[in-house]
Amino acid sequence: PLNGSGGKSGDYINANYINIEVPGSGSVNSYIAAQCPLTITCADFWEMVWQQQITLVVSIQFYSLCTDWFVDC
């Protein structure tokens, strides 16, 4: 869990764990779905990425609010 040492916002990230079983394989793929971080939650977002040892970040954006979040964070 976040310890609040990141951004000014504290320890909350709007994100959910998703586990999907691969049929017939017995394995489970795990994901975290999150909204793009706001300016005040960028540090918390990257802290979550580091803590959870995430190796791939995929951004799917549908509105202009998040247009440059990856560059600006």
pLDDT of 5 higher than 90: no
Mean pLDDT score, 28-34: 92
Q: Which residue has the higher pLDDT, 72 or 15?
A: 15
Residue 11: predicted pLDDT:
66
Residue 14 token pair = 């709007």
pLDDT of 63 higher than 90: no
What is the reported pTM? 0.70
Residue 40: predicted pLDDT:
81
Residue 51: predicted pLDDT:
93
User: How far, in Å, CA of 24 to CA of 65, rounded?
Assistant: 40
Band the pLDDT of 7: cuts 50, 70, 90: very low
Other beta carbons less than 10 A from residue 44's beta carbon: 23
